[in-house]
Structure 1
Amino acid sequence: MAGNPAPFAPYEWMIAWRYLRARRAEGGVSVMTWISLIGITLAVFALIATLAVRSGFRSEFVGTILGANAHVTVYSAARVTETGRRDRTIPDYAEMAKRIAAVPGVLHAAPVVRGQVMISSANRSSGAEVHGISAADLARLPGIVDGDGDYGDLSRYDDGIAIGAGIARELGVTAGDRVKLISPNGVRTPMGTSPRVKSYPVVYVFSAGRYDIDRTRIYMPFAEAQSYFNREGVADELQLRVADPEAVDRLAPAIQAAAGENALVWTWRDASGGFLRALEVEDNVMFVILSILVLIATMNIVSGLIMLVKNKGRDIGILRTIGLGEGAILRVFFICGAATGVTGTICGVILGSLFAIYIDPIFSFVNYVMGGGVWDPAIRGIYALPAELHLADVLKAVALSLGLSFVVTIFPARRAARLNPVEALRYE
């Protein structure tokens, strides 16, 4: 006597396929199948698109932070001078920078002078922050010297200043023009401190990819900044770049030890930690909400299968009578529901992946239809909506969709398997 056929035998797939192709009299089943398919497709598409945009936004935001800013900043603790003034400058910045640069994992340590100014040209003016840094140290900032919108001659940096593209647009200036910098803490005279006004040529215009940086930052040669801000012989801070910015917290104790007990260490995570934590919370909430959307979409499979079981009651009774067991019936209807979930998931993955890959032309089209201004960099901080498609995000969405589809399919399939063939055929 032949043994029982293996689970998911070809005849089970054949029966399930015939049930999925509902006839005109069973149009309700076909409609519910299509509703389930479209719902799962849209839910998976939304989940993958959201995960891709989330990954792209975080990567773009962190990339601009690490490309244009210091990974670690070292300050000096406040000390009281002989005149009673609180001073936080670093007089031995060269020796401190040398000690810190010797720490394993630290790539470079640059002394910096910082100050607030008013920058003006013709009848336009704007507030800005000056970073006094040497040409060699500026060349180590990839977000400043390797930006897409940079122009000018950085080799002439020692003869002028470099300004952000946002400042250049605000003032209507370009490389080669002259601008005036006005500092309230200027020349010291017997009558007090008078504002310092000095004209500089713009030799370089950079675009760091961050609206707030491009709109407010100016780079000035270190020695000139010392003179301009009355910092002769001192620096305001040391800006460090490390080999592994993601592991910067592990380097902080060694940097602190090299800098000395009167130094204060501030990492890029400390500076942007609040935003990154808020972004992480938002990511988790969005994933939960979209997971519920996927669950709602998969619940349509239950409705379609219940209708299918009701319409196929006579068929189930006949199949049980000719020898099919409960397991075979369960698998037939499980295949019907799972096929809808798998097809919807595949379509959703394709749509979501295409959205992430072609987000730029899609977003440009949306911006054109809406008349422009859809994405405001002054609010978002970056200039465009980014998206990065990661395999882990796609697999997460696929696992969630297929897992829910398979789970919700079991209950109506079990109902079909437990249908009493006598009751199913009593009135036939």
Structure 2
Amino acid sequence: MIAWRYLRARRAEGGVSVMTWISLVGIALGVMALVATLAVRAGFRAEFVDTILGANAHVSVSRATWVDGDGVASRAIPDAGALAASIREIPGVTRAAPIIRGQAMVTAGDRSNVAEIYGITLDDLKAIPRIASSEEAMGDIERFDEGMAVGLGIARDLGIAVGDRVKVIQPNGTKTAFGTSPRVNAYEVVYIFSAGRWDIDRTRIYLPYAEAEPFFNRERGADEIEVFVADPEAIEAYAPQLYQTGGDGTLLWTWKDASSAFLNALSIEDDVMFVILALIVLIAALNITSGLVMLVKNKGRDIGILRTMGLTEGSILRVFFLCGAFVGVIGTIAGVILGCLLALNIDGIMSAINYATGGGAWDPSVRGIYRLPAELRGWDIFRAVTLSLVLSFVVTIFPARRAARMNPVEALRYE
């Protein structure tokens, strides 16, 4: 009761309401920034990983170079269909599909681009979430065997739409007595997709497997087998069985191998951001110390009277400790509420900023993804709340002990 009375005291009564409000607002803003930043970092990583796992294999199985009976070196998987069937039997594997991969030039009218082309069957293409369930998809994926599926970025670069025909040029084409002549085929665009990643949409094209096999001279077999698992985060646990099933010469390339540098950079940045924002909360919490020091000075007479009435040092310490604790708790609650509101509306806020700046605030070619998501996680909120409360309580101890140790005789000497 005494602590709450002191916090509500007007300045004319010896209170420090202005300092109290400054401390409370500072902590609230610091916690808000911490909660919102942690949510954005978590959402960015989740979106980035989801676009990787939703459009790429969780692990690619390939073969080391081997020499056939004719002395020709190759990395093809001649028994790709049987190997894919064996891999599907591994517990936790949800899908395994033979893939042909190659690069080629694509042209439409007077525009051209270089694309990474995947040879795949219709059923396997429909099983890729980010491709088959693309929100910005155009055309009919069921007609895939009649043409090809093109990324939205390539379609924009070439200025093509569903129904247009695109030439695909492969340099290592038909071998003749006069050398190797490029192979040029024309395909109808039957499906345009957006995988949610700028680099995939701008480089990827899917061709029917039966068409890609002769086009890239892959009669010997598939280039690799794309494997999808139930728990991508634990992809390393599947490695022993994949090696055993693939046999000698099996090579594995997981999604973590492909993105390890970026994921490690995100983890380091998360830790650095948490430390920096923790310092901001600490600076805000130090205002509580300033306010309590002033409060103790103004309430010296009250302390002396309370002590002479029988209050112990521990009781006086608790009174002023609660003064600082109230500020920390109320500021933390307000900061969490504001931080959650900011995180839930961050996509709309960034869209408005991006619109106001002419598209310069969020460049997909730099960030890789098209939007800035946020993901509120209980652990992140718990960390922010714990940090704020601990700092608020710790900085309160010094002025509270100073008040508790005040000599009542000295406090009342000049009263």
Does residue 295 (structure 1) correspond to residue 275 (structure 2)? The answer is no
The match for 2:143 among 148, 156, 181 is: 156
- Cα deviation for residue 401 of structure 1 reads 0.5
Q: What residue is the counterpart of 2:326 in the other structure?
A: 339
Q: What residue is the counterpart of 1:34 in the other structure?
A: 21
- Cα deviation for residue 220 of structure 1 reads 0.3
Deviates more, 1:88-97 or 1:411-420: 88-97
Q: State the secondary structure of the residue aligned to 2:374.
A: coil
Does residue 98 (structure 1) correspond to residue 98 (structure 2)? The answer is no
- Cα deviation for residue 158 of structure 1 reads 0.4
TM-score between the two structures when normalised by the length of structure 1: 0.94
Q: What residue is the counterpart of 1:207 in the other structure?
A: 194
| 8 Å Cα contact 2:14-2:298 kept in structure 1 | no
- Cα deviation for residue 83 of structure 1 reads 6.9
Deviations 1:159-193 (A, max 9, x none): 10001111111111111111111111112111111
- Cα deviation for residue 327 of structure 1 reads 1.3
Give the AA of the match of 2:292: L
Tell me how far apart the structure 2 counterparts of residues 65 and 235 of structure 1 sit (CA, whole Å). Answer: 22
Q: Gapped runs of 5+ residues in structure 1?
A: 1-12
Tell me how far apart the structure 1 counterparts of residues 356 and 398 of structure 2 sit (CA, whole Å). Answer: 45
| 8 Å Cα contact 1:45-1:351 kept in structure 2 | yes
Q: What number of residue pairs does the alignment pair up?
A: 415
Tell me how far apart the structure 1 counterparts of residues 385 and 391 of structure 2 sit (CA, whole Å). Answer: 10
Does residue 275 (structure 1) correspond to residue 275 (structure 2)? The answer is no
Tell me how far apart the structure 1 counterparts of residues 127 and 219 of structure 2 sit (CA, whole Å). Answer: 24
- Cα deviation for residue 97 of structure 1 reads 1.2
> In 2 relative to 1, CA 85–27 (structure 1 residues): closer, same or farther, beyond 3 Å?
farther
| 8 Å Cα contact 2:15-2:298 kept in structure 1 | no
Tell me how far apart the structure 1 counterparts of residues 248 and 67 of structure 2 sit (CA, whole Å). Answer: 16
Q: State the secondary structure of the residue aligned to 2:245.
A: helix
- Cα deviation for residue 53 of structure 1 reads 0.5
Q: What residue is the counterpart of 2:362 in the other structure?
A: 375
Q: What residue is the counterpart of 1:403 in the other structure?
A: 390
| 8 Å Cα contact 1:116-1:183 kept in structure 2 | yes
- Cα deviation for residue 215 of structure 1 reads 0.7
| 8 Å Cα contact 2:23-2:285 kept in structure 1 | yes
| 8 Å Cα contact 2:155-2:192 kept in structure 1 | yes
Q: State the secondary structure of the residue aligned to 2:107.
A: strand
Deviations 1:312-367 (A, max 9, x none): 11111111111111111111111111111111101110111001111122112222
Q: State the secondary structure of the residue aligned to 2:202.
A: helix
Tell me how far apart the structure 1 counterparts of residues 122 and 286 of structure 2 sit (CA, whole Å). Answer: 62
Q: What aligned pairs does 1:385-404 form with structure 2 within 5 A after superposition? A: 385-404=372-391
Q: What aligned pairs does 1:253-332 form with structure 2 within 5 A after superposition? A: 253-332=240-319
Q: State the secondary structure of the residue aligned to 1:227.
A: helix
Give the AA of the match of 2:352: F
Tell me how far apart the structure 2 counterparts of residues 188 and 26 of structure 1 sit (CA, whole Å). Answer: 97
Deviates more, 1:153-162 or 1:233-242: 233-242
Q: State the secondary structure of the residue aligned to 1:90.
A: coil
- Cα deviation for residue 38 of structure 1 reads 1.2
Q: What residue is the counterpart of 1:4 in the other structure?
A: none
Deviations 1:278-314 (A, max 9, x none): 1111111111111111111111111110011111111
Tell me how far apart the structure 1 counterparts of residues 71 and 368 of structure 2 sit (CA, whole Å). Answer: 41
- Cα deviation for residue 26 of structure 1 reads 6.5
Deviates more, 1:265-274 or 1:361-370: 361-370
Tell me how far apart the structure 1 counterparts of residues 161 and 70 of structure 2 sit (CA, whole Å). Answer: 43
* CA RMSD after TM alignment: 1.5
Does residue 78 (structure 1) correspond to residue 72 (structure 2)? The answer is no
| 8 Å Cα contact 1:77-1:264 kept in structure 2 | yes
Does residue 229 (structure 1) correspond to residue 216 (structure 2)? The answer is yes
Q: What residue is the counterpart of 1:358 in the other structure?
A: 345
Q: What residue is the counterpart of 1:118 in the other structure?
A: 105
Tell me how far apart the structure 1 counterparts of residues 138 and 271 of structure 2 sit (CA, whole Å). Answer: 40
Question: Percentage identity across aligned positions?
Answer: 64
Tell me how far apart the structure 2 counterparts of residues 125 and 89 of structure 1 sit (CA, whole Å). Answer: 29
| 8 Å Cα contact 1:26-1:311 kept in structure 2 | no
The match for 1:166 among 153, 160, 165 is: 153
Tell me how far apart the structure 1 counterparts of residues 14 and 271 of structure 2 sit (CA, whole Å). Answer: 40
Q: State the secondary structure of the residue aligned to 1:110.
A: strand
- Cα deviation for residue 82 of structure 1 reads 6.5
- Cα deviation for residue 84 of structure 1 reads 6.0
Tell me how far apart the structure 2 counterparts of residues 304 and 244 of structure 1 sit (CA, whole Å). Answer: 52
Tell me how far apart the structure 2 counterparts of residues 377 and 203 of structure 1 sit (CA, whole Å). Answer: 26
| 8 Å Cα contact 2:8-2:15 kept in structure 1 | no
- Cα deviation for residue 79 of structure 1 reads 2.0
Tell me how far apart the structure 2 counterparts of residues 17 and 74 of structure 1 sit (CA, whole Å). Answer: 67
Q: What residue is the counterpart of 1:17 in the other structure?
A: 4
Q: What residue is the counterpart of 1:5 in the other structure?
A: none
Give the AA of the match of 2:41: R
Give the AA of the match of 1:336: C
| 8 Å Cα contact 2:14-2:295 kept in structure 1 | no
Give the AA of the match of 2:407: N
Deviations 1:181-220 (A, max 9, x none): 1111112111111222111100000111111111100000
- Cα deviation for residue 381 of structure 1 reads 0.4
TM-score between the two structures when normalised by the length of structure 2: 0.97
Tell me how far apart the structure 2 counterparts of residues 314 and 41 of structure 1 sit (CA, whole Å). Answer: 32
- Cα deviation for residue 80 of structure 1 reads 3.8
Give the AA of the match of 2:372: L
Tell me how far apart the structure 1 counterparts of residues 405 and 388 of structure 2 sit (CA, whole Å). Answer: 27
Deviations 1:81-118 (A, max 9, x none): 56765421111111211221111111221111100111
Tell me how far apart the structure 2 counterparts of residues 355 and 101 of structure 1 sit (CA, whole Å). Answer: 44
The match for 2:236 among 219, 244, 249 is: 249
Runs of 4+ aligned residues of structure 1 deviating over 6 Å after TM superposition are none
